[in-house]
């Protein structure tokens, strides 16, 4: 089986797939044979560019506008993805929001938004996906290295939201095992994206916190996601995978 054939005939939905880790994951899945749907909120042009890149690889692709904070839109995105692609085999819960700052600076609106996107959105997408997935389905959630090691103050809300996804993943693994659906979580470390560029003002400090002393790339994270989406990971569920350059070492 060649790399391109590993996911041949499979379909995937990547939430927040218009940029960064989400876009890299959509492209990596497509390179290995999957048809891909992706969601976006404001980045329509970026999402359409990812669709064109996926189609250039000979795979089908569709961009769906859906805010992960909106319960109805989240469920509808899963339904539309399965409808457009004919089925749904893989869900990558990648959409996320982050608000950093001291406890006293965080408004109730900040709390509600971060938890709605990072926790409720992931739960609802997983529930909707599980309803349409058959045996061999995969639910892969993007967590964060801060769930293992919080390097400094100001990340309480974000860390809380990402830590909740570990519990979600382990519970999904137990609940869905009888259907042949697995659930795993990937924890990226500092990763070079437009939201956290490797040449940004805080990059040197973040890189220094890793054992390797550098940022990761979005494709390095996507490679782990793609492994978990493939047939070799059939016996892997309820597990955490760090792609963090040794941030937690």
Catalogue the E-assigned strands of 26-162.
35-40, 61-65, 90-93, 138-142
What residue ranges of the chain have pLDDT lower than 70? 1-4
Average pLDDT, whole number, for the chain? 95
Q: What confidence score (pLDDT) does residue 4 get?
A: 61
Q: Which helix (H) or strand (E) holds 220?
A: helix 218-229
Phi, psi of 140 (to 5 degrees): -125, 125
Identify which of 206, 202, 195, 197 has the alpha carbon closest to the alpha carbon of residue 146: 206
Q: What confidence score (pLDDT) does residue 3 get?
A: 54
**Through-space distance between the first and last CA atoms of the chain, rounded to whole angstroms:** 35
Fold exhibited by the domain 3-243: Rossmann fold (3.40.50)
Between CA 74 and CA 42 the distance in angstroms is 15
Which sequence spans correspond to the domains of the chain?
3-243
Residue with tokens 């937690």: 248
Phi, psi of 32 (to 5 degrees): -100, 15
| pTM (predicted TM-score) | 0.95
Question: Residue 117 corresponds to which tokens in the numbers above?
Answer: 């996107």
Q: What confidence score (pLDDT) does residue 1 get?
A: 46
Between CA 28 and CA 25 the distance in angstroms is 5
Q: What confidence score (pLDDT) does residue 29 get?
A: 98
Residue tagged active-site, from 40, 158, 215, 235: 158
Q: What confidence score (pLDDT) does residue 202 get?
A: 87
Q: Using alpha carbons only, what angle is made at residue 78 by residues 49 and 21, rounded to the nearest 5 degrees?
A: 45
Look up 40 and say whether it is catalytic.
no
What is the three-class DSSP state of 153?
A: coil
Phi, psi of 2 (to 5 degrees): -80, 165
């Amino acid at each position: 089986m060649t790399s391109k054939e590993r996911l041949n005939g499979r379909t995937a939905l990547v939430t927040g797939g218009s940029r960064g880790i989400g876009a890299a994951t959509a492209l990596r899945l497509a390179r290995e044979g999957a048809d891909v749907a992706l969601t976006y909120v404001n980045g329509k042009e970026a999402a359409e560019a990812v669709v064109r890149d996926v189609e250039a690889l000979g795979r089908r692709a569709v961009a769906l506008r859906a805010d992960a904070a909106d319960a109805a839109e989240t469920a509808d995105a899963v339904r539309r993805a399965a409808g457009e692609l004919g089925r749904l085999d893989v869900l990558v819960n990648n959409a996320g929001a982050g608000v950093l700052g001291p406890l006293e600076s965080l408004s109730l609106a900040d709390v509600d938004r971060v938890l709605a996107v990072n926790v409720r959105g992931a739960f609802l997408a997983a529930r909707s996906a599980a309803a349409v997935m058959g045996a061999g389905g995969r639910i892969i959630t993007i967590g964060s290295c801060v769930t293992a090691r919080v390097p400094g103050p100001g990340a309480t809300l974000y860390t809380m939201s990402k830590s909740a996804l570990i519990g979600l993943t382990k519970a999904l693994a137990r609940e869905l095992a009888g259907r042949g659906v697995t659930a795993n979580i990937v924890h990226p470390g500092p990763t070079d994206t437009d939201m956290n560029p490797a040449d940004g003002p805080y990059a040197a400090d973040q890189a220094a916190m890793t054992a390797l002393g550098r940022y990761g790339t979005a494709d390095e994270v996507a490679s782990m996601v793609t492994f978990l989406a493939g047939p070799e990971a059939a016996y892997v569920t309820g597990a955490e995978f760090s792609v963090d350059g040794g941030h937690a070492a």
